[in-house]
A and B are shown apart, each in its own frame.
Chain A
Amino acid sequence: MFNHPNFIRRREKLKPVEFQPVSEVFEPQVGVIPKSDLSGWVDRRRKVKWSMSAGRKYYLNEAKAREFETKGFLDIVSGAVAPVSDDERAEFLSQVTRISMGGTNG
């Protein structure tokens, strides 16, 4: 006769895994090709900038791609973005200043 040790068997009660909507984990990306050389600040205090060269393909967050497309900075070449309302368009375009160098060079 053999007596098994009387272990107290405790098992953690399993908790259900929580799933987040994909859109809250990964921002949807769309493919873009800039029409101009674009740059902007990642962290102005630390003087860190991002830049994108005209004519090359990049992937951007949908929201930023949508804004930049409306401003005429780039073309969206893959993926889809939400439509831009007239109010949004006006707001985006109000942020853009254009310096035209026409014929005043050198």
Chain B
Amino acid sequence: MEAISFPLLGRQAPDFEAVTTHGALRLSDYKGTWLVLFSHPADFTPVCTTEFMAFAEIYGELKKRNTELLGLSIDSVSSHIAWVRNIEEKMGIKIPFPIIADLNKEIALKYGMIHPDQSKTETVRCVFVIDPESKIRAILYYPLTTGRNMQEILRLIDALQTTDKYKVATPANWKPGDPVVIPAPVTTEGAEERLKEGYECKEWYLCMKKL
């Protein structure tokens, strides 16, 4: 049985060199940019086609966030090429990002993209947000039946980049422009001080501010 490993948040993303529709690419080629590495179950399938069109539609927004997209499935590069040409011809949407042809499942296994109870031969709908230092910063796993929400992926990247820039956290349903969360104090003295620091506090451990 093939060994499946799962990347962990905060760890270095597993390295790879991949055959893609844009030539041979390595993870290190993305150093200095954010990367959304995502898998889809198979080319020429309905939900995946809607997702690819949706990923293409947010590509411009991702570029504004210094973020690249890289798809993956266990299909050949010829299949990928035929599919993206078909999407362009029939749906009028050009797929601007590369897609990995992971026929030997090497990358899929490293990234825990195959969940045997969903499918033994297809990758589930994974999203790995990898930062400019090649660290895994966020992971999403969706089942074969459920297409992903592109606005959530953008929101997630906005939140991560806001955290990095301002050293703050983001609350539930946060979107850019909303107040952010000040990390909670870790000492009783800090808790006492927090309430005097001028933030908008519900409690000593829940204080927010506008950026």
State whether these chains interact: no
